[in-house]
Amino acid sequence: MRALLVVNPKATTTSERARDVLVRALRSEFDLTVALTRRRGHATTLAQEAAAGGVDVLFTLGGDGTVNEAVNGLMAGAPAETRPALAVVPGGSTNVFARALGLPKGWAEGASVILEALHAGRVRTIGLGRADDRYFTFCAGLGLDASVVRRVEQARLRGRTSTPALYMRSAVTQYFTAMDRRHPAITLEQPGETAEGELSTVIIQNTAPWTFLGDRAINPNPDSSFDLGLDVLALRRLRVPSTTRTVTQLLSRHREPHGSQVVRLHDVAEFSLVSDRPQAFQLDGDYLGEREKVRFTSVPSALRVIC
């Protein structure tokens, strides 16, 4: 079988030693080609070329951003019946997608489980989300959520390490100093349904969990699944008391977000978010700039994954 290993050499837990060990293990099983990403978006190009070239399995070693790029390349590079299977070796700081598939957090343990799954033929077909013309695997966000991602990415460019503490500090700073909390600007429009207006931030999930804080899964929509449509958590006005209550519910292992300022939708096939001013936008934890309108759709049975 032919395989391609796409490596992000700048990913948080990726090292030359990890790459060499993984390459030796995979070459004992596959006709393997290794490609290192050189710039943002390069993994998309590599995956698209691999899919068009008849590769059987695409491995990634990197974080969720690398996975997202590779998935978009696979989806563009071949029809569903000939699309390579995806095997995700955790190499980032959080690895939400890999962990949502049941893989361990570390690259060594994850690689071992993937090889075992390949031998046992454990392949699962999952659905994806799509935001306009770009696919996502586990989450998207418009508003506060994406603004925090932007702030974290800016800190990382200054040399900071991505940690749960950095995300928490970024969220607090963004909320108190950089948000227009009094004038919610986002409207959620769903075919055949009444529009939900005056939303401050919207989180979209394609699976659970939404993210992790260290080893703790954060589950705004715990019933979200790769096998269903998209789930939504939106907050109206970000008043301090109601926002504090929602954050407490998010961090609890036993309470789902609820209240007058919370909007939740489950298993949705399509909807649009429209804003009267530009909003920060993220997919799979990568900041993608600002948007005033995004159309979201669920794409069932889109991709085969090793898990």
Tens of pLDDT along 6-51? 999 988 777 788 889 999 999 999 999 999 999 999 999 999 999 9
Give the SS3 label for residue 291. Answer: strand
Contact predicate 139/285, CB 8 Å: yes
Q: Note the pLDDT tens digit of each residue in 197-215.
A: 999 999 999 999 999 988 8
Return the structure tokens found at 224. 């979200």
Task: Could you list the beta-strand ranges (E) of the chain.
Answer: 2-7, 31-36, 57-62, 85-90, 123-131, 134-136, 139-142, 186-189, 196-199, 201-205, 211-213, 216-218, 230-235, 262-268, 270-283, 286-306
Nearest CA-CA partner of 202 in 161, 130, 146: 146
Report the chain (307 residues): mean pLDDT per 10 consecutive residues: 94 82 93 96 97 96 96 93 95 93 92 93 96 98 95 87 85 85 92 95 97 90 97 93 87 82 96 97 97 98 96
Q: Which amino acid is at 228?
A: L
Residue showing tokens 């979209």:
204
